[in-house]
């Protein structure tokens, strides 16, 4: 008699072997959710939705913009457009040691 072995389908979180890997997956999902949410709120501030009335005063989205910038920075991205004249290459650690001495 042949034994039929059923493999369990591994989900996104259950496919991880260790607790740290699971936490990393959950952390990435939460950060991505925050970036999407804050980007949506910022977009709503600039787009006119026909069924949605805007308030008479302009909404201050500074807090949401800072959350968005922090969220994308956690993924290693920046919102800088490079027009500030500081287009130098990043300093490497060996160069930092030379500057300190």
**Hey, where are the domains in the chain?**
34-49+60-78
The mean pLDDT of 71-82, rounded to a whole number, is 79
Q: How far is CA 22 from CA 13, 19, 29, 71, 76, in A?
A: 6, 5, 11, 20, 21
pLDDT at 92: 59
Question: Confidence band (pLDDT; 50, 70, 90) for 101?
Answer: low
pLDDT at 67 over 90: yes
Question: Confidence band (pLDDT; 50, 70, 90) for 89?
Answer: low
User: For the purposes of burial, counting CB atoms within 10 Å of the CB of 22, is it exposed (0-12), middle (13-18) or buried (19 or more)?
Assistant: middle
pLDDT tens-digit readout, 6-57 = 445 455 666 677 888 888 889 999 999 999 999 999 888 888 878 877 765 5
Of the ranges 41-50, 54-63, 87-96, which one carries the lowest mean pLDDT score? 87-96
Question: Confidence band (pLDDT; 50, 70, 90) for 72?
Answer: very high
């Amino acid at each position: 008699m042949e034994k039929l072995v059923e493999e369990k389908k591994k989900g996104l979180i259950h496919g991880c072997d260790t607790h740290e890997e699971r936490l990393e997956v959950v952390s990435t999902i939460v950060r991505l959710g925050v970036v999407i949410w804050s980007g949506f709120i910022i977009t709503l501030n600039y787009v006119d939705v026909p069924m949605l009335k805007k308030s008479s005063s302009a909404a201050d989205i500074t807090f949401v913009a800072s959350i968005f910038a922090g969220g994308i920075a956690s993924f290693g991205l920046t919102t800088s457009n490079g027009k500030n004249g500081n287009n130098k290459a990043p300093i490497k650690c060996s160069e930092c040691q030379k500057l300190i001495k």
